[in-house]
Structure 1
């Protein structure tokens, strides 16, 4: 079965028209699964072997991924494990026929998990949303939009208000926020690459005065469309119902602050009018605030 994962990737790319990142992720999951079965069963894995996969095998595989191993101390989060199961199911359906995968309820994140979502879950969410579409350019668009929210901290309205004038992209992006205030945000290389990939696929010209992110009929992409897609994806991944497009912006702020970002700089990145808005938004704990105070205040 050495070539099965590769052939599966070709099928996803050519017949299902999945995006490059989805093909890469699903093919890697197929390789991991067949390698696991080889060790789990102690036998070569061929087409006939895949037809014998049972729920207990899927459970054992996910357990190995979630719990980690002697060489990998930290395992997958529940959201990432759910996506891994989705990829394996697609692989088995491809190999044995649709509906052939044994019934098995994957891991779910407990209800009430507080925001922000973990970085791995943010990426899993964006990937799941992108994978939903059969249109390669739509998948690239969805991936780019959600990566922009998480990687640059934009509001969904700010992202969808961008026009073709933002192209060609540089290291920063000028964003128009509330009250028509503009700010400059840095663009990570991964975010810039995602937007450029979308721009190269979209079937409409991206004129300077036209929306950058287009709907399927060529008009501007609606925020409602993004929210519905995120809602469906978080259900499949077992994420909290508080996992919304705006939660990705919240995660951007919280993760930066947790890694030592300055509150004033974060305020500028988020486009907040006052520092108190930044403090409330990121749910900064009192201990961290005291550390910032002691390090910054001249009389601390």
Structure 2
């Protein structure tokens, strides 16, 4: 069941709170937005309503319909002054427009001010791949062998990171794998349900299979077939935060910048394959990108600089 902020924590009048609660349910149940996106959209709406409430009473639906473009621009300017990035402002505007569309569909009227405001200009950020040697090291338990952590935990983290780099998975996709679908025992592919509930088939190369097998051989917890493949120290589902902390520890050990995140391993997967002259559309399929334009961002990375290192170190090198 969708967990949303109780309506009284939204700073609008009763009609706005009721409409917002229905909108959030629609995002999750009908449009199948991820929990993180629903939470972010809810937060954006709450901040907008709080901004409007500072200049008067809690906004009502008629008040929202009557908004002027300058009211929306004032909110965006205030958020920008607080140091909010262009990317976050763009998402906030998308959230508000989504709520406005919901109001329109429900017969409350059109919030024309939102369509009159341009989205903030934002330079598209290039992915920041890791050096090949660093990416390979992250997916090895050896780099953390001196830590005061159980061997199975190190093997678990290595297996998760191997899936991010060796198969190009998002962290949520890796942690969503069920035990019965573990890529072991000759299973060399995974069926992944990605963003927008889109399904794709991802090959799993031998080094990644070996990392998962090592984890399974050492994990002390029972792993039911329909339960998660990766578990925490008490046997419950593994939190993405634990993986993020593991990568933060590896950053220190390898001398990497803060941009070396779990998602950077997925970027590295794509960039290193492209440097190996991989087919762009094939890489799009492997990543689960809805648009080829998203994948084409990787063509702007200097592939020549990566080619020789990739050929020497990446698990796909020399294997076709």
TM range (shorter): 0.5 to 0.7
- Matched positions, count: 174
> 1:13-162 to 2 correspondence within 5 Å?
115-127=128-140, 128-129=143-144, 132-162=147-177
Shift in Å, 1:132: 3.1
Shift in Å, 1:205: 2.1
Q: What is the TM-score of this pair, normalised by structure 1?
A: 0.54
RMSD, matched Cα: 2.1
Counterpart of 2:300 in 1: which secondary structure? coil
Conservation of the 8 A alpha-carbon contact between 1:130 and 1:142? no
Shift in Å, 1:165: 1.9
Conservation of the 8 A alpha-carbon contact between 2:289 and 2:295? yes
Which of 294, 300, 305 matches 1:284? 300
- CA distance, structure 2, for counterparts of residue 242 and residue 204 of structure 1: 33
Query: What whole-Å deviation, never above 9, does each CA across 1:146-186 have from its counterpart, x for those lacking one?
Result: 11110000000100011112136311111111122111111
Conservation of the 8 A alpha-carbon contact between 2:275 and 2:303? no
Shift in Å, 1:283: 4.9
The structure with more radius of gyration? 2
Q: Does 1:173 align with 2:186?
A: no
Conservation of the 8 A alpha-carbon contact between 1:213 and 1:220? yes
Alignment-derived partner of residue 280 in structure 2: 263
Shift in Å, 1:196: 1.1
Conservation of the 8 A alpha-carbon contact between 1:131 and 1:139? no
Q: What is the TM-score of this pair, normalised by structure 2?
A: 0.51
Query: What whole-Å deviation, never above 9, does each CA across 1:121-159 have from its counterpart, x for those lacking one?
Result: 112233335653531111110111111110000000100
Gaps of 5+ in 1: 1-113, 289-300
Which of 226, 232, 256 matches 2:243? 226
Which of 199, 207, 230 matches 1:190? 207
Alignment-derived partner of residue 97 in structure 1: none
- CA distance, structure 1, for counterparts of residue 166 and residue 280 of structure 2: 17
Alignment-derived partner of residue 224 in structure 2: 207
Shift in Å, 1:287: 9.8
124-133 or 187-196: which moved more?
A: 124-133
Query: What whole-Å deviation, never above 9, does each CA across 1:221-269 have from its counterpart, x for those lacking one?
Result: 1111111121122023211110000000000000001111111100000
Gaps of 5+ in 2: 1-126, 305-320
- CA distance, structure 1, for counterparts of residue 273 and residue 295 of structure 2: 12
Counterpart of 1:200 in 2: which secondary structure? helix
Counterpart of 1:175 in 2: which secondary structure? strand
